[in-house]
Amino acid sequence: MSQPAIAADTKPWRREGATPFISVRGVTKQFGDFTAVADVDLEIYKSELFCLLGESGCGKSTLLRMLAGFEQATSGTITIDGEDMARVPPDRRPTNMMFQSYALFPHMTVEKNVAYGLLREGLKKSVAYERAAEMLRMVKLEKLARRRPDQLSGGQRQRVALARALVKRPKLLLLDEPLGALDKKLREETQFELIKIQETLGVTFIVVTHDQDEAMTLATRIGVMKDGKIEQIGEPREIYETPNSRFVADFIGSVNLFEGKVDAVAPDMMRIETYELGPVLLPPQAGLTLGQQVWGAVRPERFAISRSKPENTPNTWQGVVEEMGYIGHMSQYRIRLSNGVLIRASQSNRLRDEDPISWDEKVWISVQPSAFRVLTR
Ligand SMILES: Nc1ncnc2c1ncn2[C@@H]1O[C@H](COP(=O)(O)OP(=O)(O)OP(=O)(O)O)[C@@H](O)[C@H]1O
Ligand SMILES: [Mg+2]
């Protein structure tokens, strides 16, 4: 196999004027009067591993099917590699799709399932089987090449489907929930395999998933979808640290949301008066006006928990540990403030703590001003 084709510039989306590989502009899909995909704009770059993430029914598969050409957009344009796809049928597109319900050919062996697409293209039998074998090695199924699908586990079948999608070396690979049938351990392993395969082959991947951890692990960037629309596009870290709405903040990871109004603005600080925490101090943020309704978002791990009152720290409250869960590498807390508000906080267990904070203890919680994210919707 050739050397990994790793682009010198691995984050083209950060560069102004970079040419996207895929351009989706104003794409809408209607089924009767139901809008499954609503006015989506999306640019994806070569060699990205882009994840479409969202709840069931939000339009992920429909968008993917339009990219593959199995579904016609009601309006809008899709360009792949500089070519308008409007009149290009699926088999003429530089794409290959692994469907959510990947149907393997039941009467064919694993290797024939994988080689089939190449044989149909007219490739020599020896070449087709050699390439199929290469793919089966990649997904660690070379020992099962002679079995039929009904002699495989669900996870193994899914890996055959993945090999079958990869073997044609498409420029763009569309994967709809490719790891859905795998158990947690195999799923995590396969995620890293997928990243390795993607980096080795330099193929552009679009992966649909409803699993946020999976998207965070796999993606160069994530597009978070809701009700047919894309709510936010960004690198995993961006989506986690700077969500643009309560929906995204809550959908990716765990978050505390505090509702309030902008109460005071000074050059070096801002105060919001919240229902849950009273006044909160944070860094000033552009574009906000006095009295505006906002939500302060804080991730659980951004709270510090202590037995004694922290010194010189704004944003400090007292509460009682109502619940505590030890998960090995971290502990999760539910802390009840005197006004009844419940705070989700967590601490990483980097050091072994002989005397961890536990149930029913009176504690102080505090949060740095910069740990707040202010949301306006
Ligand atoms: N052929 C169709 N006719 C009518 N409605 C459809 C059709 N295909 C999809 N839909 C509807 O469009 C919406 C989006 O469907 P889609 O399959 O894209 O969702 P999804 O995000 O992939 O969900 P899941 O995670 O459950 O696979 C759903 O409400 C679905 O019922
Ligand atoms: Mg789907």
Lookup: tokens for 172: 């763009």
- Domain identity same for 228 and 284: no
pLDDT tens readout for residues 263-310:
998 888 899 999 998 999 999 888 898 999 999 999 999 999 988 898
The pLDDT-based confidence of 2 (bands split at 50, 70, 90) is very low
Q: Is 58 in the pocket of ligand 1 (CB under 6 A)?
A: yes
CA 279 to chain centroid, in Å, comes to: 34
Owner of token pair 């899909």: 29
Does 146 reside within a domain? no
- 12: pLDDT strictly greater than 50: yes
Q: Is 209 in the pocket of ligand 1 (CB under 6 A)?
A: no
Q: Is 61 in the pocket of ligand 1 (CB under 6 A)?
A: yes
Lowest average pLDDT, out of 82-86, 95-99, 188-192, 205-209, goes to 188-192
Lookup: tokens for 11: 């984050």
- Domain identity same for 298 and 243: no
CATH number assigned to the domain comprising residue 35: 3.40.50.300
Collapsed DSSP state (helix, strand, coil) of residue 246: helix
Domain range for residue 347? 254-375
Count of Cβ atoms closer than 10 Å to residue 19 Cβ: 12
What CA–CA distances, in Å, run from 132 to 108, 114, 169, 369? 13, 6, 11, 55
Does 101 reside within a domain? no
| Model pTM score | 0.86
Number of domains the chain is built from: 2
Question: Among residues 229, 247, 265, which one ends one of the domains?
Answer: 247
Q: Is 229 in the pocket of ligand 1 (CB under 6 A)?
A: no
**Most distant CA pair in the chain, distance:** 75
CA of 240 to the centre of ligand 2 (A): 23
User: What pLDDT, on the 0 to 100 scale, is given for residue 178?
Assistant: 84
pLDDT tens readout for residues 96-148:
888 777 789 999 999 999 999 999 989 999 999 999 999 898 888 999 999 99
Burial tier of 185 (Cβ tally within 10 Å: 0-12, 13-18, 19+): exposed
User: What pLDDT, on the 0 to 100 scale, is given for residue 7?
Assistant: 47
Residue 330 falls in which region: left (phi positive, over 0), alpha (psi -120 to 50) or beta: beta
CATH number assigned to the domain comprising residue 329: 2.40.50.140
CA of 70 to the centre of ligand 1 (A): 14
Residues 24-42 have a mean pLDDT of 97
